[in-house]
Amino acid sequence: MMQFSEELQKRISDAISDVERLTDAEVMCVLAPRSDDYDYIPALWAALVALLFPLPLSLTPWWGHSNTLSLLQLGVFALAWLGFRWQPVFQRIIPKSVRYWRAGNMARRQFLQNGLHHTRDGAGFLIFVSAQERYVEILADHGIAAKISDEQWRYIVAAFVLQVKRNQIADGFIQCIESCGELLAQCYPATQEKNELPNKLVVLPG
């Protein structure tokens, strides 16, 4: 699990509380160290290498000896699997589209699991980060989405992604909360006093 000091946790909690005084939005922040272990990716690449391995052997005397070929393919698969699991290689063989797809799914699961879709007047608002994927997403329930389009969050998300890449996740959360708060206060201002969800950063186990 990623660790944040009590001071950083309190700064994030205070930032959420400050924003919620100015808006009816129920803000929640969730940090996932990663959205998947991607264990199947090295196996897929290793299987591909093992399947292609016989092609150059077709020009050698070993071609046609099925037992020997099967053993060689098994050995190639094992070596390739170990090689693809080496972290510098492992991080490069996972397609960005797969990373973002898994992180996006995780964000939507967290939105539902934390009850953001059950807030009064559809005021749930999630700031989600998946650190390993360097992925940031803002999800707003229907009450907020009716007044603020996804496009308006784009620059805030882009700025936060840069901070995630620099490993400045805590500061990124605080600045993102404050930037979102300014827009929420303008377009979805406070009309009632309520607090339906905990004002804290939820850190998922990694």
pLDDT, one tens digit per residue, over 118-157 is 999 999 999 999 999 999 999 999 999 999 998 999 999 9
CA distance 188 to 145: 10
Residues 51 and 147 in one domain: no
Residues 185 and 119 in one domain: yes
5-14, Cβ contacts within 8 angstroms, sequence gap of 24 or more: 8/170, 9/200, 9/201, 11/170, 11/174, 12/170, 12/173, 12/174, 12/177, 12/200, 12/201, 13/199, 13/200, 13/201
Number of structural domains in the chain: 2
CA distance 181 to 178: 5
Residues 32 and 44 in one domain: no
Domain of 52, in residue numbers: 40-93
- Mean pLDDT over residues 187-200, rounded? 91
% of the chain surpassing 90 pLDDT: 60
Residues 26 and 107 in one domain: yes
Residues 86 and 150 in one domain: no
Would you state the pLDDT for residue 58?
Answer: 59
Residues 14 and 62 in one domain: no
Residues 31 and 115 in one domain: yes
Residues 105 and 78 in one domain: no
pTM of the model: 0.82
Question: Considering the domain boundaries, does residue 171 fall inside one?
Answer: yes
